[in-house]
Structure 1
Amino acid sequence: MSRFTVDDIRRILRDCAGEPDSVSLEDDIGTISFEEMGYDSLAVLEMAARIQQEFLVAIPDETVAELPTPDAVVGYVGPRLAA
C-alpha cells in the first residue's frame, strides 16, 4: 500500500510550480501555508490534479481551498489512499 507524505508534496510542487522564492522546500514545510510559500491558487489546484493522477485520490476544487498547508493535504489524502 502506498503512503502519501510531505515529501510527495515537495516533489509534486517542484514539478508543477517550481521552487518557491520565500522558503526552501527542504525545510519543514508541513505547517507553512502554500500562500506563505508563494504558491498561488492555480499552483495548488495543479498540485491537487497531480495528486489525483498519481495517487488516484480526487480533491474537489472547493476542498483544495480548505487545505492550506502540506500537513492538511497529507491528512486529507492519506486516509483516502487506504479506502
Structure 2
Amino acid sequence: MPELTMGELTRILRECAGEGEGVAHDGEFADTLFTDLGYDSLAVLETASRLKRDYGVELTDDEVVDVGTPARLLELARRQIAARS
C-alpha cells in the first residue's frame, strides 16, 4: 500500500469533487477549510470513502465533517494507519 501523502490526498479530493488536475492549490491548501476551498460535505465524505477503500482508514461521518481541513484529515488518517501497523 502506498504512503498517504498530502499530494495523494489532494489527488483523491480532486477526483471526488470532480475538479480537474489543472486547478492549482497554493501552499495554504493544507490548512484551509474545506468550505473555503470549495469542497462540500459530499466531496469530503466521498474522499473518506476512498480512504477506506484504498488505505483501510475508517472514519465516522462526524469525524469527516468535523475535521475541517486537508491537513487535519491527513493527520487523522495517518494516525489510524499507524495504529494498525
Question: What's the TM-score, normalizing by structure 1?
Answer: 0.84
Alpha-carbon distance in 1 for matches of 2:14, 2:66:
21
| Equivalent in the alignment of 1:9 | 9
Q: Which 10-residue stretch deviates more, 2-11 or 64-73?
A: 2-11
Secondary structure of the residue that 2:19 maps to in structure 1? coil
Amino acid at match of 1:57: V
Deviation at 1:2, TM superposition (A): 4.2
Instruction: Could you list the structure 1 runs, at least 4 aligned residues long, displaced by more than 3 angstroms after superposition.
Output: none
Mark the runs of 5 or more structure 2 residues left unpaired by the alignment.
Answer: none
Among all aligned residue pairs of Structure 1 and Structure 2, give the percentage whose two residues are the same amino acid: 38
Amino acid at match of 1:42: L
Question: What's the TM-score, normalizing by structure 2?
Answer: 0.82
Matches for 1:1-80 after TM superposition, within 5 Å: 2-19=2-19, 24-25=24-25, 27-28=26-27, 29-80=29-80
Bigger helix share: 2
Secondary structure of the residue that 1:63 maps to in structure 2? helix
- Give the number of equivalent residue pairs: 80
Provide the aligned C-alpha RMSD in A: 1.8
Q: Which 10-residue stretch deviates more, 11-20 or 59-68?
A: 11-20
